[in-house]
Every structure is written in structure tokens, then in C-alpha cells.
Amino acid sequence: MRAADRLRTETRDLVELVLLPGIAIFLPWPITFRIFRWLCGYGFLYRQDCSEALAQARSRGWLRGDVGTWLRVRRLTTLIDHADLYLARSRTDRWMARHLSVRGDWPQPGRPAILCTFHWGAGMWALRHAATRGLDVHFLSAPLRREQFKGRSIAYWYYSARMRCVAAATGRAVIEVTRMPRSVLKALRDNEQIVSVADVPSDQVVGSELIDLIGMRARVPRGLLRVACESDVPVTVYLLGVRLLDGMRTLRIHPLGSRRDQESLIREVFTYLESAIEEEPAAWHFWAIAPRFFEPAGIEAAAPSGRAAQATGPVS
């Protein structure tokens, strides 16, 4: 990377990952949220990701409303997700109680469970909330390697800090997927819980399942849900969104119980991602890498469902 390109990249990362989301440390959240809404009216913020995400969503039939609103929702969701790193390290559980709306119940503490969520909304506070309810949660993550961030020292620092924040929120070490299944099985035998962000591209996992998702064919990981079926461990799906009118976090918890049929469990889990995307398409963080997630023929097959066709994004 040329020196000038490196400087531009590092400056962009400093602004988008540190300086602007870091405003949240210093101001009350309602004021911060109003500032964020104002900033997200400008196209400079997260420009590359937003451009690629919009192109993919539009080509696959998932542009809802006008382009300007879609992009504002995308930028605001991304900015809040980044800001939650700084808020989680600087705010108390009392702050969380005021700014997090919860519907549903976590599994009982002291029993093994698998918790599944997705790259949608802003999920940081769900982990802390689960810990306050007595769960012993291990977050399952791909390994973070410096070579993945060549020429992006600030981005590497940011995502490393995010992993440390996850471990601090849960009070348990993050489990790298390279240590599956041994570490996962040990945690479950110890009556602890595993959290997995289920919608990762199939090129990051050993085994995948082909399913229908939002009118396309997608390959999704099956390893952890296979463990759930073989070990008779109950599964819970949760989603943490952002109410874009006032910045309230909305946590929805859906206990599914134990299953024996792996294929039907995978499809049931991913119906919640489908519903979330239908609710707010711009809040799914993986649009920019959609070609790694969906089968190529899925573009031609894309067709909005009845629920999605009626969905409208909130004005921001």
C-alpha cells in the first residue's frame, strides 16, 4: 500500500471507528443520538461499505423506499453499532436498563444452551444483559489475525478492543472457531452457554447447509446446530435492533428448545434472520459481502415476500 493510500485509509478508520462513535463517551445518549442522526444525513460516512451494500441489496430486490432513506438507516445503524463499544466500556448496568427494551426470557442459568444471533442491528448489549441474568456465556468467533488488517492498524486495534469488550461483558473467554468442537463441548458439559453469530459466509466454515432465505438460496453454517441436535442442547435465537426514532435498543429473545432434526432446526433459526431483514433490510451488515453468502443463481430468483413488500424503513 502506498503511503498516501495508507494515510487515507487510516484517517478514514480513525474517523469512522474511533472519533465519531467515541462521541458517545462524553455526552448523554439522547444528545449523542441526535448528533448521530444529523451526521448520517451526509454521504461521507461509511461511504464504501454503504455503496457496496446498496448495490447488492438493490440488485437482489431488497431496496425499500428511497435510496436516501435506505442509506441513512444503514449509516445510523453502523454508527450506533460502533458506538456501543465505547458505551459498553463506559456505562453501567443502570444505563443499560434505561436504554434497552427486552422482550422474552433467556435460558435458565446453570444449564447448557446455544444462543444464536445474526449480523443485524447492534448486538453488543445483549451479551451484557445475558450476563446480568446469570448466564455463563462464551462468544464463538473467528480468530482475529493482524495479517487480516494489512495497512489498517486502527481497524485492527478497534476490532481487538471489541473482542476484549465481548469477553469483559460476558465474563468468559471468547472461543475461536478453530477450537471447535472440543472447547464448545467442554463449555456445554460445564453447564455454560455458547453464543454464535450464525450468518457467516460458507467460505469461513467447514460444513454448510443450503437453505431458502429472503427469496434466494444461501449457504449457512451447520456445525454448532449439529452439536445442539446431537447433544440435545436447547437453542435460543435473539436479535438486538435499534429503534431509529429515539435510539432505544430492542432485545427480542426466542427460545426454541431442543431439537433432533438438524435441517429443520437450521431453517427455523434462519426464519428469524429473514424476518429481521424484512423488518429493516438496511440493518443487515452483510449486504456488501452478499455474493459470499448467497448462491449466484439467487439474484435471478430474488423476489420480495408478502411481508417484505409491505415493510417500510423508519424515517431518520
Q: What is the pLDDT of residues 255-301, one digit of tens each?
A: 999 999 999 999 999 999 999 999 999 999 999 999 999 988 644 44
- Which whole number is the average pLDDT over 44-53? 96
Q: What percent of the chain has pLDDT over 70?
A: 93
Q: What are the pLDDT digits (tens) for 66-116?
A: 999 999 999 999 999 999 999 999 999 999 999 999 999 999 999 999 999
- Give the pLDDT confidence score for residue 298 in this predicted structure: 43
Amino acid at 314: P
pLDDT at 306 over 70: no
Cell of 15: 474517523
- Which whole number is the average pLDDT over 166-181? 88
**Per DSSP, what are the bridge partners of residue 117?**
197
- Give the pLDDT confidence score for residue 29 in this predicted structure: 97
Peptide bond into 296 cis (omega under 30): no
Interacting residues of 244 by C-beta distance below 8 A, sequence separation 6+: 73, 76, 77, 314, 316
- Give the pLDDT confidence score for residue 297 in this predicted structure: 62
Q: What are the pLDDT digits (tens) for 28-47?
A: 999 999 999 999 999 999 99
Q: What is the 3-state secondary structure (H, E, C) of 199-232?
A: CCCHHHCCCEEEEEECCEEEEEECHHHHHHHHHC
- Which whole number is the average pLDDT over 243-261? 95
Q: Report residue 230's pLDDT band, with 50, 70 and 90 as the boundaries.
A: very high
pLDDT at 223 over 90: no
**Per DSSP, what are the bridge partners of residue 102?**
251
**Per DSSP, what are the bridge partners of residue 113?**
193
Q: Report residue 205's pLDDT band, with 50, 70 and 90 as the boundaries.
A: confident
- Which whole number is the average pLDDT over 4-12? 94
- Give the pLDDT confidence score for residue 208 in this predicted structure: 82
Residue written as cell 493510500?
Answer: 5
Residue with the bigger pLDDT between 204 and 58: it is: 58
Interacting residues of 181 by C-beta distance below 8 A, sequence separation 6+: 223, 227
For 238-262, the DSSP string reads EEEEE-TTT--EEEEEEEEE--S-H
Q: Which helix (H) or strand (E) holds 235?
A: strand 235-242
Please, what is the average pLDDT of the chain? 91
Q: Report residue 179's pLDDT band, with 50, 70 and 90 as the boundaries.
A: confident
CB 12 within 8 A of CB 155: no
- Indicate the pairing of strand 175-176 with strand 216-221: unpaired
- Give the pLDDT confidence score for residue 299 in this predicted structure: 47
Quote the CA–CA distance of 155 and 190 in Å, as a whole number: 35
CB 274 within 8 A of CB 199: no
pLDDT at 312 over 70: no
CB 155 within 8 A of CB 13: yes
Quote the CA–CA distance of 280 and 311 in Å, as a whole number: 8
